[in-house]
């Protein structure tokens, strides 16, 4: 029975890695095809929009994986953590690609134009620096996980709460607060699922000991 359980966990981890890699591939290929088909610059270029949703989907999936890892398996070498590493790094890659499309098609690689867009959208142009911080802090988090897994998995819980809370806040603002149409509600539903999963793990099923978020 124990061997069957271990095999099941390994199968789930391999499936999660496959889904993460497949999503990353689609998240790179589809927006690239849109960019090649339509090279005209504009704020809501399809490559910008679709790359954002691919990045969000993989961020949400990776966050769900992080919440679901049992406390005893939150350590270097575990198959579940390996799946988290693939998903978390792939999600950041898609986000970086999205930022590239946004600066290329919407802002002409101009920081000043990006500030102007944020000013028009939110009323606070310097808020662009929050987006820059988000990208850099997330990159640092990814590199920490990939390069120094032992210290990453033993970091203070408060640091994990703070970083993932910040990531979730920025993702919520980008997809729900400033989102458009049907996808705004789809993303809101995704956040609801993540919230329910977190509550279940922390309060309803504490014996599973996830110690999430990390």
pLDDT (tens digit, 9 = 90+) per residue, 125-134? 999 999 999 9
Q: Which domain holds residue 67?
A: 2-208
pLDDT of 211 strictly over 60: no
Beta-carbon count within 10 A of 69 CB = 24
121 is a domain residue: yes
Give pLDDT tens digits for 137-160: 999 999 999 999 999 999 999 999
180 is a domain residue: yes
- Looking at residue 205, its pLDDT comes to 65
pLDDT of 47 strictly over 90: yes
| Per-residue pLDDT band at 213 (split at 50, 70, 90) | low
> Is 108 in contact with 42 (CB distance < 8 Å)?
no
> pTM to 2 decimals?
0.91
104 is a domain residue: yes
- Looking at residue 1, its pLDDT comes to 46
213 is a domain residue: no
Tell me which of 24-33, 92-101, 162-171, 203-212 is least confident: 203-212
pLDDT of 209 strictly over 60: no
> Is 103 in contact with 38 (CB distance < 8 Å)?
no
214 is a domain residue: no
| Per-residue pLDDT band at 79 (split at 50, 70, 90) | very high
| Per-residue pLDDT band at 2 (split at 50, 70, 90) | very low
- Looking at residue 127, its pLDDT comes to 92
30 is a domain residue: yes
Mean of pLDDT over the chain:
91
Percent of the chain's residues with pLDDT above 70: 92
109 is a domain residue: yes
pLDDT of 58 strictly over 80: yes
Domain count, the chain: 1
111 is a domain residue: yes
pLDDT of 206 strictly over 60: no
- Looking at residue 185, its pLDDT comes to 96
Which residues have a Cβ under 8 Å from the Cβ of 208 and sit 6 or more positions away?
A: 70, 201
| Per-residue pLDDT band at 201 (split at 50, 70, 90) | confident
């Amino acid at each position: 029975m124990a061997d069957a359980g271990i095999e099941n966990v390994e199968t789930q981890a391999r499936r999660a890695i496959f889904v993460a890699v497949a999503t990353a591939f689609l998240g790179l290929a589809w927006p690239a095809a849109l960019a090649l088909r339509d090279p005209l610059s504009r704020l809501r270029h399809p490559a910008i929009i679709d790359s954002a949703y691919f990045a969000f989907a993989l961020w949400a999936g990776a966050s769900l994986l992080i919440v679901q890892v049992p406390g005893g398996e939150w350590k270097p070498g575990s198959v579940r953590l390996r799946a988290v590493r693939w998903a978390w790094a792939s999600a950041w890659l898609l986000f970086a690609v999205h930022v590239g499309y946004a600066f290329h098609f919407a802002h002409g690689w101009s920081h000043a134009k990006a500030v102007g867009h944020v000013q028009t959208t939110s009323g606070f142009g310097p808020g662009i620096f929050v987006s820059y911080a988000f990208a850099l802090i997330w990159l640092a988090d990814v590199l920490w996980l990939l390069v120094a897994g032992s210290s990453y998995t033993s970091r203070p819980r408060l640091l994990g709460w703070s970083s993932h809370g910040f990531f979730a806040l920025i993702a919520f603002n980008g997809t729900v607060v400033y989102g458009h149409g049907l996808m705004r509600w789809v993303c809101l539903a995704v956040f609801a699922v993540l919230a329910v999963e977190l509550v279940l793990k922390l309060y309803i099923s504490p014996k599973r000991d996830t110690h999430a978020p990390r």
